[in-house]
Structure 1
Amino acid sequence: MLFAHDTEVALQSAAALVNTADEDPDPLAEAASYQAFVQQWEWSGPITYDAAERAAVSAIRPRLRELWSMGEVDAVTWVNDVLADERALPQLVRHDGWDWHLHATPADAPLASRWIVEAAMAVVDVIRAGELSRLNTCAAEDCDNVLVDLSKNRSRRYCEAGCGNRANVAAYRARQSNG
């Protein structure tokens, strides 16, 4: 494990949320698909699944996406701005089978606030470890998805939308046609 479990989950959930912006149909637009998406990340605290919450969660996607194109100084500013905007107050908590970890928002804070603050707290760990380069964009020419490279050797190049498989098949076919 490269980072603490909660850091990795926060980074992966932020990337997954960012990537929903380019899906058609948008999984956050309809109540049922939104609920399924949110539930896979096992958020604690209240979740309403209503239109206002869906809109608020959708609204943080562009701000989260910014992280994947920032250098260290800009990422530090981003983190500090998010934590200040959301009035984050880190606290150690243990719940739902998770051992001690940090929460920086009250348990009853709106989901969008909890999501962006969790991402900001995770990026704190990434910056402190000098690993900001692990926040990448998919290497496929036709894909703008973001990804978190948690591999030991920093080798992850493709998102989870099947781009790696498509690239491998295309390379195989190119080799076959040239052989």
Structure 2
Amino acid sequence: MIFAHDTVLSLQAAVALVNSASAPETLTTVAELDAFFDRFDYTGRHDRTRTELEEVRALRPGLRDLMTSDRDTAAELVNDVLAKAQAVPRLIRHAAYDWHVHAVGPDEPLATRIAVETAMAMIDVIREDEMSRLGLCADDECDGVVLDLSRNRSKRYCSTACTNRNAVAAYRARQSQA
């Protein structure tokens, strides 16, 4: 395992959130935010309002910058997020998860918790010098972020759709040459 479970889950959530801005755009309704909240096992305050949805959607450009920047810039961005939120890391145990780190309280807005949990996960990425685990989709028509947790660092596409589209294009190219 490269990272602890909470780090992996936070990185996966951040990538999903950032990629929700790509065409076709998702995370456009409160119901989709509810599903996102449940999918990535968030706990604490969840207002289920349009305002909360817009606050979470507003995180996407900053998280994209954080996850696609160089290591030094990422460290600066992490420090900014944590300082702005007045984050104080503490060990928490709840639900199906053993001890893990939260840095803001459960009553903070969901957007704040997502930003801080992503920043905390990025601390592990930066400290382990694993920024190469994050990159951009190899599909020329996609601007999605890729989280590569594979052992051999071979993940190139952000989604199954991009993987399949490129596999079909490569197959057709080979067939036309034959």
TM-score when normalising by structure 1:
0.95
Q: Which runs of 5+ in 1 are unaligned?
A: none
Shift of 1:169: 1.1
Q: Which runs of 5+ in 2 are unaligned?
A: none
Residue of structure 2 in register with 1:43 after alignment: 42
Residue of structure 2 in register with 1:79 after alignment: 78
CA–CA distance in structure 2, aligned partners of residues 176 and 27 of structure 1: 35
Residue of structure 2 in register with 1:3 after alignment: 3
Higher alpha-carbon deviation: 30-39 or 113-122: 30-39
CA–CA distance in structure 2, aligned partners of residues 28 and 156 of structure 1: 24
Shift of 1:49: 1.1
CA contact (8 A) 1:27 1:34 kept: no
CA–CA distance in structure 2, aligned partners of residues 172 and 42 of structure 1: 38
1:123 equivalent in alignment to 2:118:
no
Residue of structure 2 in register with 1:59 after alignment: 58
Percent of counterpart pairs with the same letter? Answer: 49
Higher alpha-carbon deviation: 58-67 or 33-42: 33-42
Residue of structure 1 in register with 2:157 after alignment: 158
Residue of structure 2 in register with 1:98 after alignment: 97
Residue of structure 1 in register with 2:14 after alignment: 14
CA–CA distance in structure 2, aligned partners of residues 60 and 49 of structure 1: 17
Shift of 1:67: 1.7
CA contact (8 A) 1:68 1:137 kept: no
The count of corresponding residues between Structure 1 and Structure 2 is 178
CA–CA distance in structure 1, aligned partners of residues 91 and 62 of structure 2: 26
CA–CA distance in structure 2, aligned partners of residues 98 and 113 of structure 1: 21
